[in-house]
Amino acid sequence: MARRPRRPPGAARPPAEQRAVADDSERKRWLGGIHFSGFSLMMMALIVLGVVVLAPNLKALVEQRQEIAQLQRDVADQKDDVTDLQKERERWNDPSYVKTQARERFFYVSPGEISFIVINDLDETFLPDTTEPVSDELTQTKVDWASSLLTSVLTSAFTPVEGSDAKTSPQPSDTPSPTPTATDTK
């Protein structure tokens, strides 16, 4: 291994070498100031061990607390529902409430009473505006109503009735009927 040539004690060093020497001396001073005793090493090890051991348990504790809080809210909601249902049951135990519900829902009346049912009792604000005419032109339908009526009568006359004798009623065929239908006429 080759040795570096020695410099005389008063010779100047190059700037890069001066920086490296200065950095080295600062590190030695800083590291020299830190003294690790056995007690400090043992305390750091206990702190790390405590974090490793307790972290999962703390996470489980927080999750369980959240779950307990959610379940308590659910129980409170269900208690409110039970109270509402008990009040509803008490109302249905009252004969006048049952009578009122039967009148409103099923339109029941007592013997000797007359019932009036109001049709179209909606507020006019909810009804559509019908003041405008639908169209200005008169239109005619292109359906021959007479042939539609004849087709309907003939179809109903020759349709077999359930429970009748199969010999007296005509059998349905797959061929189209010779009489025109409403869709055939235009």
Average pLDDT value for residue range 156-182:
61
> For residue 9, what pLDDT is reported?
59
Mean pLDDT computed over every residue of the chain: 78
Contact 91, 97 (CB under 8 A): yes
Average pLDDT value for residue range 163-171:
55
- pLDDT: is 26 or 67 the higher one? 67
**16, amino acid identity:** A
Q: How far is CA 64 from CA 50, 53, 70, 74, 78, in A?
A: 21, 18, 10, 15, 21
Average pLDDT value for residue range 127-146:
74
Indicate whether 69 pLDDT > 90: yes
pLDDT tens digits along 71-130: 999 999 999 999 999 999 999 999 999 999 998 888 888 889 888 887 877 777 776 666
